[in-house]
Amino acid sequence: MSITRRSVIGLILAVIIAVVGAPLASGPAHAADLDRYLDLPLTNRFADKSAGGVNPALPTDIAALNSLITQARSSGIDPKRYAALLFQWRLVQATSTAGIDLAAWDPQKGFHAMRGNMIKSYRLYEDLQIAHKNLQWSGMAGLVGADFGGGIADVVLLGDVYGISQLQPLAAQIVEATTDVAGPGFLGIFPEGLQTLAYSADKITPADLDWFAKQILVMQKAIFTDLMPLHMAYVRNGIAGIEELHRAGLIDDSVLAAWNDIDSGDASRVAQGNATLLRREQFNVVGWQFDNVRNYRKADGVGAALTYAMTLAGSPSIAGVPALRNFIPFTYTTELADGRTLSVQTPIANWDWSVFDLRWKYVTTELLPRYQNMVTNHWSDLVATMKVPYETQFESHRPIWNLHKILGDAAAHTVVTVR
């Protein structure tokens, strides 16, 4: 059968299209894909808006993000325009390393659904510390994470099994040891959270406890979302990775300086750089979220009661660090109208962990220096502790198992004297 010249040309064109047509067509499509992800805000950087990453429009697949970042870097576009994409890429590097599916990470699903993600995230923190002695923020966050993660577990348990109302008579016994002697006018000397536990605990419902636990889960994810991308940038690309985040406007000058300190090799600068990251965590990331939790159902004092209960129960497992309730214990002395002196002493907390200024005082005077001492002087012991499977670390720190005992002991040891 003869083949015409036109048929040959048509056949050649068909082959060319089949071989190169798809790549030629995909070039503009890839560019269009990148355009979709420019100038996006980080609407979910603090994990308080939705599940997933820092903006719901961004992919969570690491291969897709690798491709998009390669295009963005080679395009000559101002890094500020692809900042959200860059941050999401570093975040997915972190979640992939930890074994977490970012798209499915949703604190609103509750503790039981998110327990695995919590454990995996803290495991990553400790692994980074073991591998990089200068990453002290990461190590401390991982070590203390078991304490507070266990606390969340027990808040859920408290709602499901015991009922927080069982704390009411114990709290009331502490307050009434004073008011029975000095009169009801002295109710106000006690922390707001204790007052609520004493006289309004029946207003705290399982739904309140569920809400509270979810807010703590939001904060736990917010810390990971904000700080782990920085750690991934550093461990994979050193200071150059941090500088890229700075050029994109994702971190300010003070955070860039902190990472230069961490990278310096000078012990005092390394400590200071990690302290800067710690302050960012406690103030910028969760400071306002803790305020929101404490002010929840403010008229009834419910939020304050829950954050105060956290303060009663919290006990970080770092050598030499006092339990939260022992950091500022309750004492009260005043002169009565008849000239006698009223003195009240009880082993309960006279502060609330959710208040930033007090929390930061505890962190900087107790938690941080003692952890840094462990890194400097007891490194092998610290590493051995961190190599314990995190599931075991988590389950061995269930502080609110003891909350009834804490209040019971406080009631038994409350001393009120009038002289």
Mean per-residue pLDDT for 253-266?
98
Does residue 210 register a pLDDT over 60?
Answer: yes
Above 80 in pLDDT, residue 304? yes
d(CA 287, CA 307): 13
The CA-atom distances, in angstroms, between 60 and each of 86, 98, 223 are: 12, 14, 18
Does pLDDT of 11 surpass 70? Answer: no
Least confident of 134-138, 316-320, 388-392: 316-320
Give residue 296's pLDDT. Answer: 96
Distance CA 293, CA 307 (A): 8
Length of the chain: 419
341 within a domain of the structure (yes/no): yes
Residue 354 within any structural domain of the chain: yes
Greatest CA separation for the chain: 125
Q: Please give the pLDDT value at position 314.
A: 79
- Give the pLDDT score at 158: 59
Instruction: Quickly count: other Cβ atoms within 10 Å of residue 311's Cβ.
Output: 27
pLDDT at residue 395, rounded to an integer:
75
With respect to residue 213, please indicate whether it lies within any of the assigned structural domains.
Answer: yes
In a domain, residue 57? The reply is no
Confidence band, pLDDT 50/70/90 cuts, at residue 232: very high
- Residue 254 counted as domain residue: yes
Cβ 232 vs Cβ 206: under 8 Å: no
The range of the structural domain enclosing residue 397 comes to 62-100+113-418
pLDDT of 146? 77
CB 275 within 8 A of CB 181: no
Tell me the whole-structure pTM to 2 decimals: 0.88
Q: Place 402 in a pLDDT band, splitting at 50, 70 and 90.
A: low
Is residue 380 predicted with pLDDT exceeding 80? Answer: yes
**pLDDT tens-place string over residues 349-361:** 999 999 999 999 9
Residue 231 inside a domain? The answer is yes
Residue 175 inside a domain? The answer is yes
Q: Tell whether the model's pLDDT for residue 140 goes beyond 90.
A: yes
55-64, 104-113, 383-392, 405-414 — which is least confidently predicted?
405-414
Answer for the pair 83, 250: CB distance below 8 angstroms, yes or no.
yes
User: HEC states along the chain?
Assistant: CCCCHHHHHHHHHHHHHHHHHHHHHHHHHHHHHHHHCCCCCCCCCCCCCCCCCCCCCCCCCHHHHHHHHHHHHHHCCCHHHHHHHHHHHHHHHHHHHHCCCHHHCCHHHCHHHHHHHHHHHHHHHHHHHHHCCCCHHHHHHHHHHHHHHHHHHHHHHHHHHHCHHHHHHHHHHHHHHHHHHHCHHHHHHCCHHHHHHHHCHHHCCHHHHHHHHHHHHHHHHHHHHHHHHHHHHHHHHHHHHHHHHHHCCCCCHHHHHHHHHHHCCCHHHHHHHHHHHHHHHHHHHCHHHHHHHHCCCHHHCHHHHHHHHHHHHCCCCCCCCCCHHHHCEEEEEEECCCCCEEEEEEEEECCCCCCHHHHHHHHHHHHHHHHHHHHHHCHHHHHHHHCCCHHHHHHCCCHHHHHHHHHHHHHHCCEEEEC
Adjacency order of strands within the sheet including 329-335:
329-335, 341-349, 415-418
Total tally of structural domains belonging to the chain: 1
pLDDT category, 163, cuts 50, 70, 90? Answer: low
Contacts of 77 (CB under 8 A, 6+ apart): 38
pLDDT confidence of residue 6: 44
9 part of a folded domain: no
Q: Mean pLDDT across the chain, nearest whole number?
A: 88
Integer Cα distance of 393 and 384 in angstroms:
12
Is residue 66 scored above 90 in pLDDT? yes
